[in-house]
Structure formats: structure tokens, C-alpha cells
Structure 1
Amino acid sequence: MKFLVSLLTAAALSMPAHADDVSFGPNQLCGLQAARPDANPALRVKTVQGRNGPIGYARFGRGTPLLLITGYRATLGEWNAYFLGELAKHHDVIVFDNRGIGRTAAIEGRFGPDYGISDMAADAADVIAGLKLSRVDVLGWSMGGMIAQQLALDAPEKVESLTLIATAPPGPQAVPTSPDVLAVLSGSGKDAFPQIMRVLFPANVAGEASQCFVGDMFAPHGYKGRPVPDAVAAQQNAAMTRWFADSAAADALRRSPVRTLIVAGANDEVLADANARRLEQIIPRATLDVVADAGHALMFQYPVELARHVDAFVSK
């Protein structure tokens, strides 16, 4: 009996904390010698007509269509250019600005108190329709992951697969972003940038990330997406608050037919990986990977490895 107990104890100590823990190896911050789509001077941000006006988007690559939805206060330029370049090797990549940001118009009178995640999901559906695509693989990061979930609920016939990165489920069992972290992400001024880096990245890489974060952002020729209006940021914050109270959406996700990959950072200070584990419990066809030594901005920490991980899932 003592031998059996010792054997079981040793086996338990040798196992990872969770079966879904993964490692992407060394950080890929700074100094990458890889393709980036914005190196092509012919690439431009264009617009497609949505129900609320023009929506700014960029499209590049070859292969199956992959629609990327970005997060809180983020423009299409907040994607890591090397992450996009790796995805573009096998996919027709489409990135776009959420409403009221960058090249996507904020139509006066259309952004009142009812503005929410479902409205932004409708904008994403308009991009798909406007580009005359029938079905697409969808990837959402942070708040974009919430929009992607709603899109899969509202238009499952348009969504081939769903990849949810560093995001949270709907409903009161989610763990929202803390007020302190949200204040950092909403900050401005000379001290804001280093503070933002400290909440987007683990402490051991935040300094390195601050040196190359801006340079590694997707920057199509002639595109300027900043600054994000404070009113739009406030509306996005209100939309996420309502998302965290949306029990009906959580119930609907339990019946979702869409094949889903959930990726979370083990050191995410913005949306804790407990959200990803909750998502795995809710979505029937979900696979979860929690990445060791990763924060909220995984696509900047591991642009090439994360893109290959996504491609392996999407291409199944």
C-alpha cells in the first residue's frame, strides 16, 4: 500500500497542473525576421458598407477566409503584424475596425444606451456579407472574443469555426476586468504606456514588450486609427458590463454547434484564465489551451507560434 501511495504521489507531481496547459517556448518579442503584410505598400484600408455606415477593413493573404475581431479601445492596427503575416500564409485574412473607431463611422444618433455586443456582432456580419463571403473562420481577441461569441449565436450559418483568445463568457459566472486594470487600459498621458504594458504582459517580459510593441503593430500605409474617442470607449465598457450579466447568451452558448478553440494566458491580468475554463464548460465543441508564461496580449508575445496554433485548429 505504501508503495502504491508513493507511486501515485510521484505520478501526480510529474503531471501538469491542468491537462490543457501548453507552452509556446521562448517569447518572440522584438527582432523577428518574418513576413508582415503591411510591408506591401499597395495594402490599404478600404471600407465596406454596413447597416450603420462604412466599416474600415484590410484584407490580405491567400486561402480560406479568416475574420479577426479586435478588442476594447483597439483599432485594426492593434494586431501584431507578424501574427497577421503568419496567418496570411494559409488564409484570406480580414481585419476591421469596430464601430466608432478608425475608419468605421459613428453615425450620430445610432450609438445610444442600447449599443452593445450584439450591435458589434451585427457589424461583423455586415463585413462578411459586404465582402460576399458565405462562411468564415472567426477569431476574436478580448472584447472581440465576446463579439465573436455573439456572432456565432446570431449567425451560426456564417461561422465555420471560432477561435477565442484571452476573452470571457457571458453571464454572471464570468470574471470581469477589475476596475483598477480597466482604469489603466483607459488611461492616457506620458505614464499610461508603461502601465498598459504591465497589465498586458507578464512582469518578466513587460520591459522588453514596451521596446517593440508599437513597431510590431500592423500599420497599413496611410492608416491612422488613433485616438479612440472617449465616448466610444465608454460605450464599449458599458457593452461589456451588460455582457457579464447576459445569462441568456450563456444559456444559448450551451447549444452552440460551432467548433471552438479557446486560448488563454496563464498570467492574464485583464481577463483571468478562469474565464477560459468557464467557456470550455459552456461551449459543447470547445478545446481549451492555457499558455504558460503568457499575458493578455498573446499575439505580441508569441506571434508566430500562436498563428500556427490557430492555423492547425482552423485547418482540421
Structure 2
Amino acid sequence: MKLLTIALLGLSLFGCKKTHTTPSDYQETAKTKFITANGVNYAYRELGNNTGIPVLMISPLGSNMDDWDPAIINALAQKYKVILFDLPGEGASTGSTPDNIADMASSVTAFVHALGLPKVNLLGFSLGSFISQQIALTAPGIINKMILTGTGPKGAVGLSNLPALLAAGANLSAEENFLRFGFTSSNESLAKGKAAWSRIQQRVQDRDAAVSQASASAQVIAVLGWAQADANAAEELKTITQPVLIVQGKDDVPVPLGNAEFMAENIPNAQLIVYPDAAHAALFQYPTEFVQSVITFIEQ
């Protein structure tokens, strides 16, 4: 395991190169497509025209494919084909959202097979990182490499506190909750959080509907199931053979840093990057650095 702790480099949040070859390279304008697998009509978007193994983005709790930061997606699309999609029952996808990580992982695997992709690079954020880990256990053949952020293993310490964290933000606006969950209380972190929120709102046409209450509830149940103590968690992590990049904020509250450290110690081929003065949405606070780390990881 390699531990990389980066310092603030003073780079602009918009430092990711944004010279796009075609309109489809923009997260803000990419066309929504649909494909059916196991009775579910999956909504998805493909960005970038590059061949090779694509990067499949698996969204966090309460999010759909419009909730990714364009500073990350558009920059990655300059190098790879990037695929955004909605899980069953979320956004524009049909069906019902599973209430457990195992079934969510099966739905992602079915979606990948429907697209005819032999392998993908999985990039999972929070809930998406739990799903990615489960795929590594049940369908490892479709994974080339994994990037996990805002992550923790089965039985992650602190994750069972999620209901209290959600209840504390019940009367806050969507932006206020985004900042509270994703960023620290420092002026610098909050300023970067506000900039990320603004970028995420840039897509206006053909935007997904917000995640429904039923879907969000199923997701919370799935996360709490993942949070249950599991005596075999370390041994399962040791069976993951794919290279794994773990990126975590030093001050992550929903999934504290110790969980990522535990994963990096137990996954045989793992690297850990810790961002300072950053919380659950560390990748949105450091998009330029995050993208460069992902590209370096995939290419090495």
C-alpha cells in the first residue's frame, strides 16, 4: 500500500483542460441514451470519443448522473470515454432502486454487459464506492481498475451514524446540505464547495429529475446494510486483485479517514491519497489534482 498525502497546490478549480473536440464531450450537453437490461431501461450518457477501456462513474447517495462535477467529467473525457448512468429507479432510469448493495452491484453488472463492454474502470463515490467493492467480489472480470472516494469497507466505522447526519440537515437547502456533507467549515473549503455546486448546476436542458424519496430511502437502507459489522471485511478486501486508487478527505465525516486507511492496508494493490482540509466531497474540492491522479493511476 502506498500513502500519498498532498498539499494544496494553489491550482484553479477550473484548471482542468476544457478544450473539447465535440459537443458530446461536455457533461452539460451530452445526449441522454437508453438501454434495457433485466427489464430496466437504463438512462446513460457517453462523453468523449476515445477508444479503450472506459471510465464508468457510479454515483453517491441521493445523486443521479447530473450531480457529478463537470470539472472532473469533462477533463476525464479528454482522455477516456466516460459513462454516466442512473441506477434503477433513479433519474430517468425505470424500475425500483434496490435496498441493498448486492442487488445494486448486480444491476451495474447487467448494465455493463448490456453495453457490450468486456471491461471498465470503475470510479465510485461514497455509495458508488460500496457498489464498486461488491462488484469486485462478485463480478471481478469486468473491472480493469477501481477508483474509490468517500469510501469505507463493509462495517465502516461511523457510517451507521448516517440517519443522524441526514436528520440534522432536514431543514437545509440542497446547496447547504451539499456544503455541510461534502466540505469542511474553513472559508477555503466552503468557497470551493460553492464553486463546485455552481458548476454542477450548469446543465439546464434534459436534466434528470431529483432522486425520489422512495429511491433515496432505499439507498439509505442499502448504506446502513453496508455499515453493519462484518468480521470478514478484511479478508474480502484481501481478495481484490485489481489495482485500486483510494482518495479520501482528511476530515470526511460520513465515512471517516480511518476506513480508507484500513482498506488501503488490506487491498493488496492499493494506493491512498488524502486531501487536506477536505471532507466527503474531496474530489470536488480538488478536481484538477483528482483528475491528474486518476489519469496517472489508470496509465501506470
What is the TM-score with the length of structure 1 in the denominator? Answer: 0.82
Partner of 1:56: 43
**Aligned pairs for 1:185-224 within 5 A:** 187=170, 191-204=173-186, 205-209=188-192, 211-217=194-200, 222-224=205-207
Counterparts of 1:311 and 1:32, CA distance in 2? 12
Shift of 1:212: 3.0
Q: Following TM superposition, by how much is the alpha carbon of 1:34 offset from its aligned partner in structure 2, in angstroms?
A: 3.2
Match of 2:81 in 1: 92
In the other structure, the counterpart of 1:262 is 246
Following superposition, the deviation at residue 174 of structure 1 comes to 3.1
Q: Does the 8 A contact of 1:294 with 1:301 survive in 2? A: yes
The amino acid of 2:114's aligned partner reads G
Deviations 1:85-136 (A, max 9, x none): 11112111111112211011124xx85xxx3111111121122112111011
Task: Tell me: CA distance 1:249–1:123, structure 2 relative to 1, closer, same or farther (3 Å).
Answer: farther
Cα gap change, 1:232 to 1:218, in 2 (>3 Å):
same
**Structure 2 match to 1:304:** 288
CA contact (8 A) 1:81 1:218 kept: no
- The CA deviation string for residues 147-204 of structure 1, in whole angstroms up to 9 with x for no partner, is 0111111111110111111111113x5331633323356x366x45324312311212
- The correspondence for 2:26, drawn from 17, 34, 38, is 38
How well do the aligned residues superpose, as a CA RMSD in angstroms?
2.6
Partner of 2:134: 150
Distance 2:12 2:41 in 1: 35
Which residue number corresponds to residue 57 of structure 2?
68
Change (3 A) 1:70 1:50: same
Shift in CA distance, 29/208, structure 1 to aligned 2, threshold 3 Å: farther
- Where does residue 143 of structure 2 map in the other structure? 159
Work out whether residues 198 and 206 of structure 1, in 8 Å CA contact, stay in contact via their aligned partners in 2: no
Matched, 1:174 2:166: no
**Unmatched 5+ stretches in structure 1:** 1-17
Q: How far apart in 1 are the matches of 2:115 and 2:254? A: 33
Once residues 32 and 151 of structure 1 are traced to their aligned partners in structure 2, the CA distance between those partners, rounded to angstroms, is 30
1:233 to 1:282, Cα distance in 2 relative to 1, 3 A: same
Alpha carbons of structure 1 residues 226 and 213: separation in structure 2 relative to 1, 3 Å: farther
Percent of aligned positions that are identical: 27
Say which one has the larger Rg. 1
Bigger shift: 303-312 or 204-213? 204-213
* TM-score, with structure 2 as normaliser: 0.86
SS at structure 1 position matched to 2:118 = coil
Say if 1:209 and 1:90 are closer, same or farther in 2 by CA, change over 3 A: same
Per-residue Cα deviation, 1:197-251 (whole angstroms, up to 9, x for no partner): 1231121235424543333117556322232111111111111111122625553
Looking at structure 2, the residues matched to 32 and 188 of structure 1 have their Cα atoms a distance apart, in angstroms, of: 35
Any stretches of 5+ residues in structure 2 without a counterpart?
A: none
Structure 1 residue 291: deviation in Å?
A: 1.4
Displacement, 1:82? 1.3
- Equivalenced residues, count: 290
Q: Structure 1 residues 244, 195: CA separation in 2 closer, same or farther (over 3 Å shift)?
A: closer
Structure 1 contact 35–82 (Cα < 8 Å) conserved: no
Structure 2 vs 1, CA of residues 262 and 19 (structure 1 numbering), >3 Å: closer, same or farther?
Answer: closer
Residue 80 (str. 1) matches residue 69 (str. 2): yes
Higher mean C-alpha displacement, 21-30 vs 80-89: 21-30
Distance 1:32 1:161 in 2: 22
CA distance change for structure 1 residues 19 and 31 in 2, over 3 Å: closer, same or farther?
Answer: closer
Summarize deviations over 1:26-54 as a string: whole Å, max 9, x none. 3644797735733774x211112122411
1:139 equivalent among 112, 119, 123: 123
Note closer, same or farther for the CA distance 1:211–1:290 as it changes in structure 2 (3 Å cut).
closer
Check conservation: 1:77, 1:219, Cα contact below 8 A: no
Q: Shift in Å at residue 307 of structure 1?
A: 0.7
Q: 1:180 to 1:73 in 2, by over 3 A?
A: same
- Counterpart residue identity of residue 215, structure 1: S
Distance 1:211 1:138 in 2: 27
Q: In the alignment, what sits opposite 1:4?
A: none
2:220 aligned to 224, 233, 237, which one?
Answer: 237
